[in-house]
Structure 1
Amino acid sequence: MSMRSPEDLTARARIRDAAMEVFAERGAKGATIRAIAERAGVSPALLQHHFGTKEQLRAACDDHVLAYLKQGVALGIDEGRLDRPDFATEIYRSAPPVLRYLVRALVDESPGSALIFERVVELTTPYLKGRDDSLDPKVRAAVFVAMRLGLVVLSSQLSGVIGAELLSPDGARRVGAAMLDILDPALFDATINEQARRAVRDPDS
């Protein structure tokens, strides 16, 4: 299973991936066309040929993040692959740069960050249940998404406590297991809950 598309073999995709790294490190204001082109190993002219302005490139990164998350939900939850080793391996490989980019955009309140947060909430809402029928499902999902992304905001501090890099396979399993232990099981469908618990188990246990 791969969450990469044929486009990911192209110069355009290499530029986008480099842009996500630079945006995550420097923020939307600090990132420059020259720095992104240098990271991608292309000329600024080629970058502008593919994406035009820095703002258009940033918007393309936002679109990629949403497409990545939608594909992850479709494969992991809708198709029931959440606890498959190949799915977990691919997520551990591909998710860190996506999460770093997303969290930096939200913390910096970069252009489009409010919209991308709302889209992630919309993507999450149908999969959360909860026990209080009077609660707005979108509010429930928004709080859940903020909690999950907050872990990445505090990744340095959290990694020190758990003894592993948060976005490494070992760190992700430890934090995932702790989250599932804390959260009310009624928040998810029973099948999703069980698959998630199998997915965070130590493969050597």
Structure 2
Amino acid sequence: MRPAEDLTARARIRDAALALFAEHDAAGTSMRKVAERAGVSLALVQYHFGNKAGLRQACDAYVVEFIRATLAGAVDEDRLGDPEFMESSRRAGAPVFRYLGRALADGSDATAALFDELVAITEHHQRARAGDHADPRGEAAVFVAMRLGIYVLQDHLTRALGVDAAGPAGLARIAAAQLAIISPEYVGEETAAKARKGLGKPPRPSGR
């Protein structure tokens, strides 16, 4: 799932920033803390990203590209029903979704652009599929807002579920719950069937 570029020091710095921004937000994270987490010098962080704003932009760009690539793999490459691909996506996506929840709550140009792109993709798939959609744009916008809202509320979900909502097990459990809640007629029977297959055997709730 991760490109060759992610073997570099630049990627380690970005990943450290991704984690720290998710934990403390950008205002509560210094460049020096990022350097310490990545195990590099402050000078190297400044060389690659310039300042904190440049580092934030790199994190935003990575999150947007990760989601685009995951959607392309699941939909365009028809791998939604591939359990190995979906499990790999959940594992790689854990730090991404922790960061995304914070970024959506804080607000940024990148998350606004991502929301608009996801709405456009969702609306396109609705219009391409036969069915009664009185307001495709409205349905797509609300659907995306509901999906992304999970990441904004992930701390509350973690408490309610008793498992890290942004971790692989939590994401799998959330996906299983979404499949049980969302009407197959809305997403399409074939898509719903592939999603169930790709999910594999979801984790069993532990007494909750």
* TM category, shorter: 0.7 to 0.9
Q: State the Cα distance separating 1:149 from its structure 2 match.
A: 2.1
| Equivalent residue number for residue 94 of structure 2 | 96
Label 1:116 to 1:13 Cα distance change in 2 as closer, same or farther (>3 A): same
Q: State the Cα distance separating 1:69 from its structure 2 match.
A: 0.8
Alpha-carbon displacement from aligned partner over 1:44-89 (angstroms, at most 9, x marks no partner): 1111111112111111111111111111011111111112132022
Q: Is the 8 A contact 2:18 2:96 kept in 1?
A: yes
| Equivalent residue number for residue 47 of structure 2 | 49
Q: Secondary structure at the match of 1:29?
A: coil
1 CA distance for matches of 2:121 and 2:16? 26
Q: Is the 8 A contact 2:123 2:140 kept in 1?
A: yes
Q: State the Cα distance separating 1:143 from its structure 2 match.
A: 1.7
Label 1:47 to 1:72 Cα distance change in 2 as closer, same or farther (>3 A): same
Of the candidates 24, 30, 33, which is equivalent to residue 31 of structure 2?
A: 33
TM-score (norm 2): 0.85
| Equivalent residue number for residue 79 of structure 1 | 77
Q: Which amino acid in structure 2 is aligned with residue 172 of structure 1?
A: L
Question: How many residues were matched structurally?
Answer: 202
Q: Is the 8 A contact 1:28 1:105 kept in 2?
A: no
1 CA distance for matches of 2:28 and 2:83? 38
2 CA distance for matches of 1:101 and 1:162? 20
| Equivalent residue number for residue 119 of structure 1 | 117
1 CA distance for matches of 2:201 and 2:14? 33
Q: Which amino acid in structure 2 is aligned with residue 7 of structure 1?
A: E
Label 1:151 to 1:204 Cα distance change in 2 as closer, same or farther (>3 A): closer
Q: Is the 8 A contact 1:12 1:50 kept in 2?
A: yes
Q: Is the 8 A contact 1:66 1:120 kept in 2?
A: no
| Equivalent residue number for residue 159 of structure 1 | 158
2 CA distance for matches of 1:145 and 1:203? 23
**RMSD (Å) for aligned C-alpha atoms:** 2.4
Q: Which amino acid in structure 2 is aligned with residue 79 of structure 1?
A: E
Label 1:195 to 1:41 Cα distance change in 2 as closer, same or farther (>3 A): same
Share of identical aligned residues, percent? Answer: 44
Q: Is the 8 A contact 2:35 2:42 kept in 1?
A: yes
2 CA distance for matches of 1:192 and 1:204? 21
Q: Is the 8 A contact 1:106 1:117 kept in 2?
A: no
TM-score (norm 1): 0.86
Q: Unaligned regions of 5+ residues in structure 1, if any?
A: none
Label 1:26 to 1:124 Cα distance change in 2 as closer, same or farther (>3 A): farther
Label 1:99 to 1:82 Cα distance change in 2 as closer, same or farther (>3 A): same
